[in-house]
Structure 1
C-alpha cells in the first residue's frame, strides 16, 4: 500500500467514528507502527484535515473536510474516467458536457503522475446511443432537485397518448433508454416512464407533498430493490 492510499484509509477510518479513537487502534487497523501513525496524523493536519486529539487521548475528525483530489488512488481515477466517459456518450448534451468539464477540472489539480494515468486510461465506452428524447431531460433533473410536479404527455408502447401529472424522484440510465421514476397522480401509484416517449413536459412550479428521498425509499421497498451504495 502506498503512503497516499494509507492516508486515505486513515481518513476513512476516522470518518467512521464520532468519538476519539486511540492512536494504537488506528495503527493496528493500518498495520503500521504508532510512530508512523503519528506522522500520518501530522501530515493530514498539515493538509487541512481538522483532526483533533493527541497521543494518549485519541483522535477524531471534525466534519467538513474535503478530500484533496491528489489522494485519489489509481483505481478511483479509472472509475471516475470510466463514469465520465459513459455519461459523455450516453447522457444528454448538457449532462455529457458537465461530465467532461468535471473530468478536466479533476485533471487540472492532480499531480502529474496521476494526470498521466487519467489520460492513459484503457477503460473505454463503446457506441450505443439510444432513442433521441423529444424533450430536454435537464428539465426533469431540475424538477427532481426542486421536488416539483411535472405535467407530461406520454405515449405508451402502442402509441396511445395520455396526459399525466407526475412527481419525479429518480432517473434510470440504461444502455439504450433513460427512464424517469415517479408517482403518477392519474394511476395513484409509482410508474416508470421512458423519457423518449414523453412528447411534452412542463414544470408546474408546485412542490409535491412528499420528499423525494421518502418516495425513492418507498418505491425501493415496493419493488424490493436494494438502495445504491
Structure 2
C-alpha cells in the first residue's frame, strides 16, 4: 500500500487509457475524477478498473441511483436515470467515480455488479427500492427500506410527497391495512426568523457565543 495518492490529473489520464473506447468521457472536476461508461460496456469497464495494475480498484464503497428528470426543466437532454458508483483502491490510495446511464427511462436496467464486488448487493437493492432501477443478474433484488406493500419508488422526482397510500393497524381485522391517502398533498416552506442580534453576529471580532477572542 502506498501512502501517497496519485495526482488527480494522472488518475484521469490513467483511467482514460485503461478504459479506452469503453469510456464515453473521463473528467476532472474539483480534484475528483469521474468516468462515464455506456450500459453495454458497464461490466467490462468495471472489471478493467478492478484488475488493471495501474487501477486496482478493489473496493466498491458506494452505489446509488440518480433521477435527472428535473434537468430537462433547464433544457438538458439525455436519459433520466443513472447509477453512480464510487470505487477505492487501497493499494494505490486512489478513488474514482463511475456513472452509467440507463438506456430506457420507462424500464431502467443496468447489469448487477455483484459478480465483481459482492458488496454491491444491498446498495443495488436500495437503488431498486428507492428509484426503481433494475439490476440484471442480481440474485435477490427486492425492497430493502420500504415495506413489502409499498407502491412506487419514493426518491423519484415525480413521487408525491404524501405518498400513494397510507397504512394503519386495523383492530377488527387484526392486520395492517392500506388505504388511499387522506391528507392533502402540499409543500411547506419553513419560515426563517432572523434576529438582528442573534448569537452575537453583530459583534465583529468576538466569538459567536459572546466570548472575546
Q: TM-score, normalised to structure 2's length? A: 0.30
> Which one has a larger percent strand, Structure 1 or Structure 2?
2
> Which one has a larger percent helix, Structure 1 or Structure 2?
1
